[in-house]
Amino acid sequence: MEQLRALKQMESKLSLLGDHVGVLSGKLEDLLFRAQRIAHALKDNANAKVKVADTMFGYDLQTFRRDVRAFGNDAGGLSSTLGGIEHSAQYDESSLGHAQAVMRLSDRLHKSLGVLLDKAVLAHQHIREAEHKVEAWYMVQEVEALAQQAQVLPGIANKLLIAVSTRKGAPVPPPAAAGAPEPTLERRAVPLRKVGRLASGTPDATPPETPQS
């Protein structure tokens, strides 16, 4: 029962964290689009007015970093908690569905953070202003740390699923009680059936019948 409750809690937490990564990904896509637009405008025009066209970009970049740090606090210790569940996991048919969900959500979180890291690196490459570029570099380091922490989750979840779904071998029967009689084989006599001639070669006393014409 304790295992089932722990799996339900882990499933719920992984689902919430996966949704949170989706929100972060949407915000980063917006920052990436704005960074690309600013970079293209600077490249084409080299006009100082373009630099102040998006005055909120630096503030939104700092806000995104705060959101990443808040996500890191929520996801802190996730691998340790999942590893503790895996260490004490036992076969339980009622927990199988939740273990499969934990495996699926762990893989989803790992892949989502990998995609988030790719977007962060791309945004850093497009940013031109020195102040924003430094801010974006720290953002990449923070997202990369989260992605590295999530790398072990699918492996732990896979071991957990195996432990929950694998039934242990049948128990060995107890040894026989001391002093119990051992089973003995009973030998039975098999009667011999007469045949036409005896083994000594003496002809049979009964003459053979002659067929009537």
CATH for 113 = 1.20.58
**17-54 pLDDT per residue, tens:** 999 999 999 999 999 998 888 888 777 766 544 455 67
Burial code of 27-56, b = ≥16 C-beta within 10 A, e = fewer? ebeebbebbeebbebbeeeeeeebeeeeee
Give the distance, in angstroms, between the CA of residue 145 and the centroid of all CA atoms in the same chain: 20
Structure-block tokens of residue 35: 């960074």
Give the count of domains, the chain.
1
Residue 199 inside a domain? The answer is no
Residue 174 inside a domain? The answer is no
For residue 137, give its domain range.
2-165
**93-116 pLDDT per residue, tens:** 888 999 999 999 999 999 999 999
Residue 70 inside a domain? The answer is yes
**Residue 181, amino acid:** P
Residue 59 inside a domain? The answer is yes
Q: Answer yes or no: pTM beyond 0.75.
A: no
Q: How far apart are CA 104 and CA 97, in angstroms?
A: 11
- Decide: residue 23, CB within 10 A, 0-12 exposed, 13-18 middle, 19+ buried: exposed
